[in-house]
Chain A
Amino acid sequence: MFYLIFVGNPALFEIVALSLRVSCTALIFSTLVGIPLGVALGSNRFVGRRLLVTMLYTGMGLPPVVVGLFVYLLLSRSGPLGQLNLAYIPPLFTPAAMVAAQSIISLPLVAGFTMAAVMAVDPQLRLQMRALGATKVQSTLAVLREARAGVVVAVIAGFGSIISEVGAVMIVGGNIEHRTRVLTTAIVLETRKGNFDLAITLGVVLLGLAFIANGAMLYLQGRTIEE
């Protein structure tokens, strides 16, 4: 039955493709910012670090719906960013706005878990690499490489937090057919309409995607541990 629905329903492909596009783009952004941030917080001591770490931990538990509300207020036409009307500020009810919200949700997770992984590396390693002639960047990369199993977990956690969230994408995306409808918002809609077959199929597809993505990253993690 699922197979028939999947094959016979081109809208499903569209929804799956948009879900992956939005979540993967958000994950790339949060990884690009979150890993360097986690490394910086995990390997440096500076004034205000404790406050930043506390904010990061708070961010790790942010309810997506609150993030959605925050991004909505920022991007709405009367909001501080929306009223600027700049080309690179995404308007509401677009995939770009959904990417912005999901990036905010996953960033603290990627940064926080990366920080924990870096802090677990022997602090003497950096000194010993420096003694071998490493520059600061080279010794940081050595530490990051030693922490790679934990960094993979950080990316997995970041992806898991956004592929399955519904609150933020519903608020900033609006669940518009052919434009911003993703798996989670489609499941909500189909359930409300009483289309349980389609809702269950969408749920299975979502679970399958999460399973495949996590399995792939766990495979990578396993390899890094075995290396």
Chain B
Amino acid sequence: MSEFVYQLREVAQAYATRSVLQVENLDILQGEIFALVGPSGAGKSTLLRLLNFLEAPSRGTIRFQDTEFSPGQNIPLALRRRVTTVFQRPVLLNRSVWDNVSYGLRLRGQRDADALVRLTLQQVGLQELASQRARSLSGGEAQRVALARAMVLQPDVLLLDEPTANLDPYNVGLIEEIVRELNRENGTTLVLVTHNVFQARRMADRVALLLEGRVIEVADVESFFNTPCDPRTGAFVRGEMVY
């Protein structure tokens, strides 16, 4: 298998006539924690939707593992199911925590995976709430359910779209620890979208800065924060206006 999990070449996304993303070249390595940082509206979430094959790019190619896709090409379901996303605002089904966590497995026809669901609930610390209505949970608990329903699928790539943006420090720390453990133990590739540079620094192996739909700089975490090549990266890291 390739050491690259994703290779994006000349990828662009536009809605009607509005261009929102133009990525000339971006590689994401197998097993790494890759952080995408940038201000709101930079195109980070759009890029995640492309990486999850939830929408097709207007042009360019996305190579996922050993398969290359161009716009208009049909994405096999089995391949799409190797990637999943945890969103900033979890939308849970109006059912129990257990039903929410096992939902993706049921979609895949895996109905005898109780042990896996139980283990995942333990990993996110929600085993006591398995039978509780998901809609009655706090924000932090709901986000952990969302994380659990993604983790239980054992994806090759887990995309995290600002998963801790609305959470208190305790839940931020908890979720960061859970996903770090997932990466360490299972080798799951993590792509973390965040506008929190401190979180990117804590979590990531490599970091990319996205501004107005373009990748400004990609570097390992130390270089990105200590010796950035692009002055805009330095400005963003320092919290200065870079629009």
Chain A binding site: helix, strand, loop or mixed by DSSP?
Answer: helix
Residue contact A131 to B54, C-beta cutoff 8 Å: yes
Instruction: State whether B94 touches A146 (Cβ < 8 A).
Output: yes
List B residues at the A interface (Cβ < 8 Å).
Answer: 52, 54, 77, 80-81, 84-85, 87, 89-91, 93-95, 103-104, 107-108, 146, 149-150, 153, 159
Binds B, one of A69-77, A94-102, A134-142: A134-142
**Does A128 sit within 8 A of B, measured CB to CB?**
yes
Bound CA span A124–B142, Å: 15
Q: Select one of A128, A145, A146, A227 contacting B87, CB under 8 A.
A: A128
Q: B77–A135 contact, CB under 8 A?
A: yes
The answer to whether B77 and A133 touch across the interface, beta carbons within 8 angstroms, is yes
A132 B54 Cβ-Cβ under 8 A? no
CA A122 to CA B135, docked complex, whole Å: 13
Select one of B54, B77, B80, B95 contacting A127, CB under 8 A.
Answer: B54
For A108-147 the 0/1 string (1 means CB < 8 A from B) is: 0000000000000010110111111111001000100110
Query: In angstroms, how far is the closest chain B Cβ from the Cβ of A125?
Result: 5
- Nearest CB in chain B: distance from A34 CB, A: 23
Contacts of A135 in B (CB 8 A): 77, 107
CB-CB nearest in chain B for A147: B94
Q: Is the CB of B93 within 8 A of A142?
A: yes
Contact status A133-B104, CB under 8 Å: yes
Q: Mark A153-180, 1 if CB is under 8 A from B, else 0.
A: 0000000000000000000000000000
Q: Please indicate the chain A residues that have their CB under 8 angstroms from the CB of B104 in the complex.
A: 132-134
Given contacts A124-B89, A138-B107, contact A132 B84 (CB under 8 A): yes
Interface residues of A in 61-107 (CB under 8 A from B): none
Report the bound CA distance from A130 to B77 in whole Å: 10
A125, A132, A138, A227: the one within 8 Å of B95 (CB): A227
